[in-house]
Every structure is written in structure tokens, then in C-alpha cells.
Amino acid sequence: MKIIMLGAPGAGKGTQAKMIAEKYSVPHVSTGDIFRANIKNGTELGKQAKEYMDKGLLVPDELTVKILLDRVAQEDCKNGYVLDGFPRTIPQAEVLDKALTELGEKVDYAIDVDVPDENIVNRMGGRRACLKCGATYHVVYNAPKTEGVCDVCGEKLVLREDDKPETVQKRLTVYHDQTQPLIEYYDKKGILKEVDGTVDMNDVFAAICSILG
């Protein structure tokens, strides 16, 4: 099963992708997590990506596409995956479709987690992220068992650099300009599914499960 998560920054793509990955035993592939891991480890890719991410801009397609295609070519992705944060532009979607077509494969579902902009800024300030394993928490809506510590791996949780209010606003603008057109792109292919992302995260997950079966 190959699933794409669509939705604004902070809509809950990562939260839901992790739950889907666990239930359906497929890897959770997040380009944002891959970039953050590279930044943390001080790689050349991380240095390049950081320039864009800290400003709330998209990392150029040339850098992003190769990383994603390499990742999904790995053995653990053989039976499918859930993509979180990719594609984010029409050209990225086209590259993915072309690569899959060459393998005789296709994306099964594009799930749009719908949350209005007003709700987003609120959520971001309370988010805490684990840069080691990619787990995401919220100080109110999804608190870790021990404050400031990742439940999964014990790493110290951080507020992401790009979660400052000004940067969140920029990311929302970029989302509407460059990523939202993907909703129509996948709708035309007949694989778009919309879920209300404003309800409790377990209810969002239940809606997704009823789509995936």
C-alpha cells in the first residue's frame, strides 16, 4: 500500500503517518525528518536544506527528489510506504508518478488532512519534536510521559526552528502557492481522500482507517 499524506504544515500529517505506519506495517517516510536528521548530523545536504527550511521555504526539487527516490528504493519499502511531506510540488508528484509507472506501480491513496490556517499557528507553538526518531508531541494535545523527553527513544525534545510564528506564516503561504495544487492533481487521478483534521487525533485516525480498510 502506497499512501501520500497531504495537508498544511501542522495539519497532523506526521502524527497520522506514524499511526498508519504502525497499523499497516509500512515505513513512515518523511522528507522533513530526513532533512532534520541531516542537519543534526551536520552533513552537506543538511547544510543546504537548512538555508531554506529556516526561512519557511521549500528545499529545491533537485535536492529533494533524489533523496526520496533513494529512500523508497530501499528494501523495507518493497511492500509500500506512507509518504509525509512529499510530494510538495507538482513537479515532485510527476517525478514520483513516472518512477512508479516505470516499476509498474502506483500510489493508492492521497489523504488530505484538512485544517484551516487559523488552527495551525496555535498548534505549532505547542509542538515538541524528537530530532532522533521523528516522534512529534504537543504540550497540551499529545504530551510526552515525561516533560521534554521522547517516549520512544529518550532523546530531549525541542521546539523546531521553523515553528516560530513568522516562519509558520511563511510556510502557510508557501503551502497555498506550491503544495495545495496537489489536491486537484490527485483528485483528477481519482485517489484523493479528504479527512477533517480539526478533530481529536484518534478520531482523525479512525476516519483514515475507514478509508484504508
Residue 13 φ/ψ, nearest 5 degrees = -60, -50
| Alpha helices (H) along the chain | 13-24, 31-40, 44-53, 61-72, 90-102, 117-126, 165-174, 181-188, 201-212
Query: Using CB under 6 A, which of the segments 69-77, 80-88, 97-105, 180-188 binds ligand AP5?
Result: 80-88
Among ligand AP5, Zn ion, Mg ion, none, partner that 133 touches (CB below 5 to 8 angstroms by kind):
Zn ion
Q: For the segment 125-144, give every residue that binds Zn ion (CB under 5 A).
A: 130, 132-133, 135
Q: 128 catalytic, yes or no?
A: no
Q: For the segment 89-108, give every residue that binds ligand AP5 (CB under 6 A).
A: 92
Quote the CA–CA distance of 211 and 213 in Å, as a whole number: 6
Burial class (CB in 10 A: 0-12, 13-18, 19+), 133: middle
Quote the CA–CA distance of 192 and 188 in Å, as a whole number: 8
Residue 141 contacts ligand AP5 per CB under 6 A = yes
Q: Which residue has the cell 509500500?
A: 80
Residue 142 contacts ligand AP5 per CB under 6 A = yes
**Which three cell numbers mark 99?**
518512477
Instruction: Kindly name the residue from 2, 13, 71, 128 that is annotated as catalytic.
Output: 13
Gyration radius (Cα) of the chain, Å: 16
Residue 86 contacts ligand AP5 per CB under 6 A = yes
Q: Where along the sequence are the contacts to Zn ion (CB under 5 A)?
A: 130, 132-133, 135, 150, 152-153, 155
Q: Where along the sequence are the contacts to ligand AP5 (CB under 6 A)?
A: 7, 9-15, 31-32, 35, 52-53, 56-59, 64, 85-86, 88, 92, 123, 126-127, 136-138, 141-142, 162, 171, 197, 200-201, 204
**Catalytic residue numbers?**
13, 88, 127, 160, 171
